[in-house]
Amino acid sequence: MQFTDKYRPRKTSEVIGQQEQIGKIKTKVSDHNKSKLKKALLIYGPSGTGKTSAMHALARELELEIIEVNASDTRNTEGLENILLPAIRQQSLFSKGKIILIDEIDGLSGTNDRGGIPTVIKLIEESRYPIILTANDPWDQKFNSLRQKSVMVEFKAISFIDTVNHLKQICKKEKITFDEDAINNLGRLSSGDLRSALNDLENISSGSKKITKKDVENTSEREKEESIINALLKVFKTTNADIALGAYDNVDEDIDKIFLWLDENLPSEYKDINDIRNAYENLSIADVYFGRIRRWQYYRYYVYIYDLLSVGIALSKKEKNKDFVQYKPTSRILKIWIANQKNAKKKALAEKIASHTHTSKKRILHNMPYLIKILSNKKYLDKSTKEFQLEKEDIEWLKKYAN
């Protein structure tokens, strides 16, 4: 059993960091039938803060049946009504009442879901049972009417101290040995997402029953790669500008690296020649802005670059590719690294020769091809080795590029 299931709170008192909010929710649920004004409870906050788990624990405590629907899976009017209309009209199975939980209402946003929000409002007005909604971000203007029909309750990100203490408790129960720094870093890495912290703890400790600081550092690098892949999915697999626009908001990667990821994977994702042309035209314009930033420090151009690399790429295609594509890191970074390693030795050698010839490194680099040719002669090489204080590595480099 996964840690997230094994250690899911069974009672509301076990929910971490949200006790005040749960008290408010419990009162509203208990008083639902007394209120003449029908309103839902809209619980919002970052992922992994216990929104859904808390509602299941509450239903268990109050001995209420819970009917749960994920809005991302049931996006339109027909889907919601088919599941929820019978639930709000029929009596509870054991006559103890119900909670209607509509999870992740963020999934109702977008041009394809225009009927979703009015349907939820209709359900709120008709339901004899309390309706609870959860969302990560309910402040989109599309939810204006829904917010007016809801009592808002915010679940805050889990504090660093609470996260670390919870991880330590689980380590003790699972007999996992750990470095103090490792657990602290794992807590910071989660950024208040307790579910993410538990998943990382389980993945790292699997098999070895031990967690080191190095293990957590490796996890951090893996998370960075996963986040860029998720961002690429949003851009490549949508033609909706709203979805693509914020694709890179939470990506821990430099925008120039994102550019290289797009450049590497575009030909695999886009198959139509016109789609590819349009996409690379956006990349080309973004590259022009990169150049202006480097030359003139016009940093406001970053706004245009983000738009081009998100919405520009997403809307370059007529329709999305339904096939699975395995995204891969750009090979250009490796090529740049190899070139830099090669040039680093060349620059170091030029600097050494410049210091003995009373000239600039720039001049030596400019004349390096001629120097290599001259020093390919053993007579001149032996003399230069002593005069320029060349080492074995320098001589090997010169011989390599002389041939």
Q: What is the pLDDT of residue 111?
A: 40
| 3-class secondary structure, 256 | helix
Report the sign of the C-alpha dihedral through residues 315, 320, 321, 326, in that order.
positive
Q: What residues contact 291, with CB distance under 8 A and at least 6 apart?
A: none
Distance CA 362, CA 299 (A): 30
Positive or negative torsion for Cα 248, 254, 256, 258: negative
* Per-residue pLDDT reduced to its tens digit, 142-196: 888 899 999 999 999 899 999 999 999 999 999 999 989 999 988 888 888 898 8
> Which residue, chain included where needed, has tokens 């957590």?
216
pLDDT at res. 317: 94
pLDDT computed for residue 94 by the predictor: 63
Structure tokens that stand for 306 in this block: 């983000």
State pTM to two decimals.
0.56
Which residues lie below 8 Å from residue 24, measured CB to CB, with a gap of 6+? Answer: 153
- The single-letter code of the amino acid at 165 is N
What does the longest C-alpha to C-alpha distance in the chain come to?
103
Q: Residues in the chain with pLDDT < 70?
A: 33, 36-37, 72-79, 92-95, 109-115, 219-226, 332-342, 401-403
* Cα distance between residue 119 and residue 318, in whole Å: 31
> What is the per-residue pLDDT for 221?
60
| The predicted structure's pLDDT at residue 402 | 63
The count of other CB atoms within 10 Å of the CB of residue 51 is: 25
Q: What are the phi and psi torsion angles at 351 (to 5°)?
A: -65, -40
* DSSP 8-state secondary structure symbol assigned to residue 310: I
CB-count exposure of residue 309 (10 Å: 0-12, 13-18, 19+): buried
* Distance, CA of 118 to CA of 148 (rounded, Å): 12
Q: Which of 57, 45, 55, 52 is nearest to 192 (CA)?
A: 45
Write down the pLDDT at residue 112.
44
Please name which of 133, 166, 160, 134 lies closest in space to residue 16, comparing C-alpha atoms.
166
Length of the chain: 403
